[in-house]
Structure 1
Amino acid sequence: MADIRTILFIGESHVHAVQAALKQTGFVLSDTDLQAHRLTKIKNGKLIGTLNLQDLLLLCETLTEQDLVVSLIGGNQHSSFSLIQHEQPFRIAHADGHLPDGELPILPRATVRAHFERGLRGNDAKRVKQIAASGCHRTVHLSPPPPKEDEAHIMKRFETDFARKGLAEKGLSPAQLRQQIWELQNEVMGDILAEDGITLLSPPSGTVTEDGFLHSNYYANDATHANVAYGEKVLEQITEFLQAPQAQGDMQ
C-alpha cells in the first residue's frame, strides 16, 4: 500500500456516516491520519459543520503528494429534483435511450442533464475542483448513496426541507425515476470532474441492490442518508482503492 500520511474526508451531510464510523468502530490504518470534516453552513438558522471552505483550502495547501482528499461534497440534488412527486409526473429515457413503460409525458434527458450541469458546475463540482487545485495531494469524489426504494421508510421520517416542500401532501415520485435521476447526476458529475482528472468513485461494493437502490442494511433513519455501517464500507473502499496498483503509481 502506498505510504499515505493523511486521508481527509470532506463533505456535508453525507460525510456524517464516515465521521460516525471513525468514532464508533475504531477503524484505523497504520501510519495514516484519518480525518473527516463537515463543511460549515447555516441550516435552520444554525451554523453546523467544523471547517469552512477557505480554511479547508488552506489545509489542503499543507498536504503532500502522498495525501488523499476524499470529497463527499453535496450529492442530494437528485433528491431535491425527484423525491417529491411533481405536479406533472413525467418519464425520462435511460442512458441507452430506452424509455420506461407507461403513458406519462417524456421529459428530454438532455433537458434534465443540462439542469444538473448548470447546478453542479456552479457549486459542488466547482468546490471539488478548487480543492483539487489547492495543493499537490490527490483528490477523488465519492458518489452519494443511491436512493432508498422503501417508500414506508422514507415517509416515516424525512428531512425538514422536504417537509417544507410538501412531501407528506404530494407523495413520492416513483422509485425507478428517482434511481434514474441519481444515475444521471453521477453521469454529469463524473464528466465535469474528468475535465480536471478527478476520479468519481461509485458507492462501496455490496451497498447497492441489483436494481440500483441503497441496500436497506445501510439506511440511516431519514429519507436520503446512509448509516454508520455504510461509513465503515466507505473506509474499507478507500483502503482498497489505495491498494490498487494504479492508485499507488499515481501517488508515488
Structure 2
Amino acid sequence: MPNEIEVLILGESHTTAIAGAIPDNFQDKFICIDVRKGAGTSKVNVDLFAGIKPRNLILAFGGTEHNIIGLIESEPPFDLVWPPFDEIAPGRTLVPASALEEMIRYRLDSSVQRALSVRAMFDCPAFAIAPPPPFTGIDEKTRLPSAFTDLLEAGIAPADMRRKLYLLQCHLMSETYASQGIAFIPAPQGAMDDQGFMFRKLWNRDPTHGNSRYGQLMLNQIKEHLGV
C-alpha cells in the first residue's frame, strides 16, 4: 500500500529550510525531500520518494538563477527596468529586460525539466514555490556559496538591481509552470521588509538560502495556499 500523505515537497537546496521547519507531529502529513541525495547524473533520486502518494505535490527546484546572473558586480555594471521599478542607477548600462529574461529562462531550463520529470510521476495537483527573496547587503562575517567565492573581489551588485532580477525570475517561473498546469506560490510577505528584501534573521549560512525560520513562513504559506 502506498504511504498516503497530505503534502509532499520535492526539490533541491531550498527544501532544507522547509524540512527543518516541519514539526515531528506533522511528519505523517508533510514530507520534504532534497531529491539530490544519493542521485546520479539525473540529479533526482526517485528511491527517496518511492511509495509516497501525496494529495498535493510541491516543487522546489532551482531558484538561484537570478543570483548566478546578477549577484556579483559585472563589468560594465548593468541595470534594467522592471515595473514598478523603472529607475536606473547613475553610471550603469541599461540592458533590455528581454535580454536578461532570455538569460534567466536559459538558466531555469534544467531545473524546470527536472521538476516536470518529477511532476509526471504523480497524478495529484502540483504547485511550485518561489525562491527566497534577495538580500540587501553583506558584511565581513557573511558567507556566500562557494561558487561565488573567487568572484567577490568584484563586489556585490546593488540590491535594487538584484531585486528586479528576482522579480523577473519569479515572473518567468510563474509563467513557465502555469503553461504546464502548475500553480506558483510566491515567497511569504512576512519574510520581507517593506522594500521586498529578506530579513537578516531569516538567512541560512549564506544569504541566498533561508533558515528554518524562513522555512516555517514558507510552510505556512503553502498550507494557506492549499487550505490544509
Please classify the TM superposition score into its range, dividing by the shorter chain length: 0.7 to 0.9
Q: Percent identity?
A: 25
1:233 to 217, 220, 226: 217
Letter in 2 for 1:6: E
Confirm or deny: 8 A CA contact 1:12 1:38 kept in the other structure.
yes
Q: Could you tell me which residue of structure 1 aligns to residue 7 of structure 2?
A: 7
* Number of aligned residues: 224
Cα pair distance change 1:91/1:199, threshold 3 Å = same
Unaligned stretches of 5+ residues in structure 1: 42-46, 245-252
1:213 matches 2:213: no
Q: Could you tell me which residue of structure 2 aligns to residue 63 of structure 1?
A: 53
Letter in 1 for 2:113: K
State the SS of the aligned residue for 2:94: coil
**Cα shift readout 1:96-143 (whole Å, capped 9, x = no counterpart):** 5824242421111100001111222x3122222222232211111110
2:158 to 160, 165, 174: 174
**Cα shift readout 1:177-198 (whole Å, capped 9, x = no counterpart):** 1111111111111111111111
Confirm or deny: 8 A CA contact 2:21 2:215 kept in the other structure.
yes
1:162 matches 2:148: yes
Unaligned stretches of 5+ residues in structure 2: none
The ranges of structure 1 where at least 4 consecutive aligned residues each deviate by more than 3 angstroms after the TM superposition are 56-60
If each structure's helix is expressed as a fraction of its own residues, which one has the higher value?
Answer: 1
Q: Could you tell me which residue of structure 2 aligns to residue 136 of structure 1?
A: 123
**Cα shift readout 1:146-201 (whole Å, capped 9, x = no counterpart):** 11113227x6211111113x21x111001111111111111111111111111111
Cα pair distance change 1:52/1:156, threshold 3 Å = closer
- The TM-score normalised by the length of structure 1 is 0.79
- The TM-score normalised by the length of structure 2 is 0.87
